[in-house]
Chains A and B, each alone.
Chain A
Amino acid sequence: MTGTPLLETRALTKEFRGFRAVSDVDLTVAQGTVHALVGPNGAGKTTLFNLLTGFLTPTSGTVTFDGQDITGRAPEQIAPLGIARSFQITSLFEAMTLREHLELALASPTGMGKQWWRSVTRMATFKDRAMDLLEQVGLADRAGAPASSLAYGQKRALELAIAMALDPKLLLLDEPTAGMGIEDVDRTIALVKQLSAGRTVVFVDHNMHVVGSLADQVTVLQSGQILAEGPYEQVRADERVITAYLGATHE
């Protein structure tokens, strides 16, 4: 059902010792849309992500997901509800193989991770699904390699596969193309498009090409507040946004 909100924040605020990193943010993400968060460095995008996923507790305001108030819940409580995230700085388990990463993600909702009396070979229950996901992101041939042996772009692709393994209702991607060359960027755009079909996605990115190709809706943040909101073309033409990005001196 496109249109009804999947995620809503009301007056969401986070203060760090008097500094308001996120201030009174009312964000509404409609079901089935791809929503971009943009803004200059320090605008509060990653803080907002951490508030949505429970890695930070808001100073005030609420977060509602799928009709449930999830304000102040821990990450491990929020993840099972159907919110998966990727991290801005590639965040993997360096010693594990690619397949092991996905098996770990797939095993999470089943509670298998609690079994200390059984052989780890039971994790192979998830092998087929893990290989499917690796296939989708083009890493199937590296399934047995440790994550530390991957190139940067491949690590980002693995991040996406891990997030998809949780079969999330809402996918949060923190700068999926950060630090990538143009070829990797285009490949990632195609990958996100393919993976996110029929899902709701919120992503942060600085690359306007990425934002323009993916986003249905764009929210511009500045100094922790929402500066502008709307479809990409409309936001791009907004005077305030141009000023925020280029500085006030350009006229």
Chain B
Amino acid sequence: MSEQMTAKVDVDLAQPSILSRRNPLRYLMLLGGLAVLVLLPYWIYPPVAMDILCWGLFAISVDLLLGFTGLLSFGHAAFWGGSAYCTGLIATHWGVPFPVAVVGGAVFAMLIAWPIGYLSVRRTGIYFAMVTLAFAQMLYFIANQARDLTGGENGLQGIPRSFFGIELVEEDSFYFYYVGAAMILVGIFIAWRVVNSPFGRVLTAVRDNPARARALGYDVERFKIKAFVISAGLAGLAGGVFAISHQFASLQELMWTTSGKVVLVTVLGGIGTLWGGLVGAGVVVTLEDFLASSGFEGIGLITGSIFVLIVLLFRHGIWGTGRNVLRRYVLDRRKRARD
């Protein structure tokens, strides 16, 4: 029997949300989220706030594949880092406003994602993860070799942050944050739209039962490739904003550890929850920042331990567990009201 007929992702997903589409609590949460977004750079150092949003969208892009299509990509650094370099090169050489450069980076990520996706979606599970990792490593070595273009180990330094001559944004990371955040918001909106579209419904079907989806006439491979390309575009958008924020693109962005970290952030937030990525990024980035400024050397040890703890205690991640708790509470109350 062909692999596609039987293979499906072995992920234990959280229960779907108990809240109906028009539940007021949804709007309340959205408003709360937006308020946090606006106030974040008042509470924490603005570049760190920007990092949280970039990593949040990056994790959402991974969740689009892992949680909603059933594909574990272990090579998403290729799109995040590839776009970081491409965005940096466009901004440096053409001097365009940075949102244009970021869009260019995201398009580049989608262009390389198409052949990578085409060649890797035929595999599932661990094989898919390994094929995507192999492609990401290829890109890493290419970037390392093409010193003239990428600066090799020194990275791409001094990426300009031009924004229509508005100096507040160009020079003050507090104001830059709001422009960057607006771009990340567009990315989040696209991800939300995709998940809650007819296309997203088919992706769920592909995730849960590929053979059945094919018998209904859906071309499973093509849907996977499209999801992969959309996901890469979002990862690219996040990576581009990240590079502009740091005014620096380095090999670190293309390293396999970056691919690993984003999977960790996604799992921490909750697979298949979409919003969990932002929460996971909030935890990981602030923690890393806190530990780095405290001069502690073994950051990986702490984040690793937290990861192990959360996965063991809350299998569905932070968001997923919260959703399950809310679900139980609401069902309990309904039951009591009936009795």
Q: Which residues of A come within 8 Å of B, CB atoms? A: 50, 53, 55-56, 74-76, 79-80, 84-85, 87, 91-96, 100, 103-105, 107-109, 112-123, 162, 166
Docked-complex contact B201 and A113, CB < 8 angstroms: yes
Q: What residues of chain B lie closer than 8 Å to A75, measured between beta carbons?
A: 211, 214-215
Q: Known pairs A56-B1, A115-B198; list 6 more (Cβ under 8 Å).
A: A91-B212, A92-B209, A109-B217, A114-B199, A116-B194, A121-B21
Knowing A108-B218, A166-B216 are in contact, say whether A118-B198 is a contact too (CB < 8 A): yes
- Residue in chain B with minimal CB distance to A110: B198
Total residues of chain B contacting the partner, CB 8 A: 31
User: B211–A91 contact, CB under 8 A?
Assistant: yes
Question: B199: which A residues are within 8 A, CB to CB?
Answer: 113-116
B204-240 interface code vs A (CB 8 A; 1 in, 0 out): 1100110110111111100100100010000000000
CB distance from A114 to the nearest CB of B (A): 6
Q: B216 and A162: CB pair below 8 A?
A: yes
Chain A residues, Cβ within 8 Å of B216: 79, 104-105, 108, 162, 166
User: In the complex, what residue of chain B is closest to A54 when comparing beta carbons?
Assistant: B214
B198 near A123 with CB under 8 A, answer yes
Contact of B202 among A53, A84, A113, A162 (CB under 8 A): A113
What are 26 A-B contacts with C-beta separation under 8 Å?
Answer: A55-B214, A55-B215, A74-B214, A76-B218, A76-B220, A79-B215, A79-B217, A80-B217, A93-B204, A93-B208, A95-B204, A95-B208, A96-B204, A96-B205, A96-B208, A107-B198, A108-B218, A109-B217, A112-B198, A114-B199, A116-B193, A117-B193, A118-B198, A119-B196, A119-B197, A120-B201
Query: Does B100 have its Cβ within 8 Å of any Cβ on chain A?
Result: no
Cα of A91 to Cα of B199 in the assembled complex, Å: 21
**In the complex with contacts A76-B218, A76-B219, A84-B215, A123-B193 CB distance below 8 A:** no
CB distance from A242 to the nearest CB of B (A): 32
On whether A55 and B208 interact (CB within 8 A), knowing A76-B217, A76-B219, the answer reads: no
In whole angstroms, what is the CA distance A112 to B217 when docked? 12
CB distance from B305 to the nearest CB of A (A): 32
Q: Which 10 A-B residue pairings sit nearest by Cβ, starting from the closest?
A: A116-B199, A79-B217, A75-B214, A113-B202, A108-B217, A93-B208, A76-B219, A116-B194, A112-B198, A91-B212
- Of all chain B residues, the one with the shortest Cβ separation from A146 is B16
Q: How far is the CB of B283 from chain A (nearest CB, A)?
A: 27
B105 at the interface (CB under 8 A from A): no
A76 closest partner in B (C-beta): B219
In the bound complex, CA of A243 to CA of B323 (Å): 60
B5 within 8 Å of A (CB atoms): yes
- A95:B197 contact, CB within 8 angstroms: no
Residues of B contacting A94 in the complex (Cβ-Cβ under 8 angstroms): 208
Interface contact B198-A113, CB-CB below 8 Å: yes
